[in-house]
Amino acid sequence: MQALLLDFLKVTEAAAIASKPWVGSGDKIAADEAATSAMREELNRLKMSGTVVIGEGEIDEAPMLYIGEKVGIGTGPAVDIAVDPIEGTTPIVNGQRNAITVIAAAERGSLLHAPDMYMKKLAVGSKAKGKIDIEAPLEDNLHTLAKALDKPMDQLNILIQDRPRHREYINRIRNCGANVLLFNDGDVIYATATCMEELDIDMFLGIGGAPEGVLGAVAARCLGGEMQAKLMPRNSEEIQRCLQMGIVNPEQALTHQQLVNTDNCIFAATGITANLFLNGIKTVNGNYITHSILVNGKDKQLRYVESTYPILTTA
C-alpha cells in the first residue's frame, strides 16, 4: 500500500484538474463526468488489483467507478477503493468554496461497504479518541469532550451542517454553552478537520451520506482521530440494501474499527476550490497549481503537497 501513496495523490490531482474548467459553469453532470473519467483513467494505470467499494453508485446507475468495478492493471496489492471524484458538486458549479476530489484506499476487506443512504456521524481528533459514544446523549459527549481537551465548554467548537434536520442538535449544543460552526457542503472536509489541531475544531456531528462517512473515517484513522457512525435506513428497501451488502444489523452503532479496520490505509484529497485546509486550483503562467493533503495510517504523517501541471490546450 505504501508504494502507492504518491500514485493516489496523482489520481486526485488529475480529477481536480479535469473539473477545473467547470467551476462556475452551472453544469453538475459535466463536471462530475470530467472528474470521474480522469480519476478512473489514472486508477487503471496503477499496479494494483483494486475494487471500488464506495463509488458513483450501483452498476446500473453509474457508467464509471461503480461499486464493484475493478480498477488497476490487475497485479500488485489487493486494494479496496473509496472515491468521490467531486465532493461538493454544487459549490464547484456555483464557483463557491468547499469542492474537493477525494480517494481513500485500504487493504482488501478493510472498508465498510456502505450503501448510499443517510448515516449519523461523530468525529473527534486524537486527544478525544476513545472518549466519545455515538449512542450517548449529546450533552454527555460534549462534557466528556471538554474534559478530554481540558477546555471550558464555551471554548468548544462543534462543526455541523446547516440543515433543518440538525436544528435540534444545534439548539442542544448551544444550550450547553458550546459554539456551533455551521457549514453548507463537504462533510469529508469537516470530519477530517477535527484531526488537525491547528484548526481548533473539536467535534464534527451530523447526518449525511454514508459513503462520505467511510471516506471521513479513513481520513480520521490516518490522522489518529476517531469516527463513530450509525446508518439510518428510512424504509424496508434501504434495510434490504444493507443486508445485501453484508450489514446484518443496519441500525447498530458502528465503531471506527467497523468503518475501517486497518491502519494500512491511505487518504488523499485535492482542492478544486478553497476550503478550511486546502487551496483551490490556481492558474499561473500557463500552469495549474494544485494543493493536496496526503496521509497514511501507518505513520500518521500529514503531508501538504503542491504540484504544478502544464495547462494542455487542444488544437
Residue 163 is labelled as binding a ligand? yes
Residue 208 is labelled as binding a ligand? no
Residue 303 is labelled as binding a ligand? no
Residue 187 is labelled as binding a ligand? yes
Residue 56 is labelled as binding a ligand? yes
Long-range contacts of 297-300 (CB under 8 A, 24+ apart): 297/106, 297/218, 297/221, 297/222, 297/262, 297/263, 297/264, 297/265, 297/266, 298/1, 298/2, 298/263, 298/264, 300/222, 300/223, 300/224
Q: What is the amino acid identity at position 313?
A: T
Residue 185 is labelled as binding a ligand? yes
Say which residues have a Cβ less than 8 Å from residue 63's Cβ, sequence separation at least 6: none
Q: What is the DSSP string of 111-134?
A: B----SSEEEEEEE-GGGTTT--T
CA distance 130 to 22: 42
Cα→Cα distances 17→11, 30, 38, 46, 267, Å: 10, 14, 9, 19, 18
With the C-alpha atoms ordered 287, 41, 61, 118, is the resulting torsion angle positive or negative?
Answer: negative
Residue 88 is labelled as binding a ligand? yes
Chain centre to alpha carbon of residue 175: 29
Relative to beta strand 78-87, strand 49-54 is parallel
Question: By three-state DSSP, how is residue 227 classified?
Answer: strand
Residue 209 is labelled as binding a ligand? yes
Residue 32 is labelled as binding a ligand? yes
Residue 13 is labelled as binding a ligand? no
Binding residues: 32, 56, 84, 87-89, 118, 163-165, 185-187, 209, 212
Binding residues for Mn(2+): 32, 56, 84, 87, 212
Binding residues for substrate: 87-89, 118, 163-165, 185-187, 209
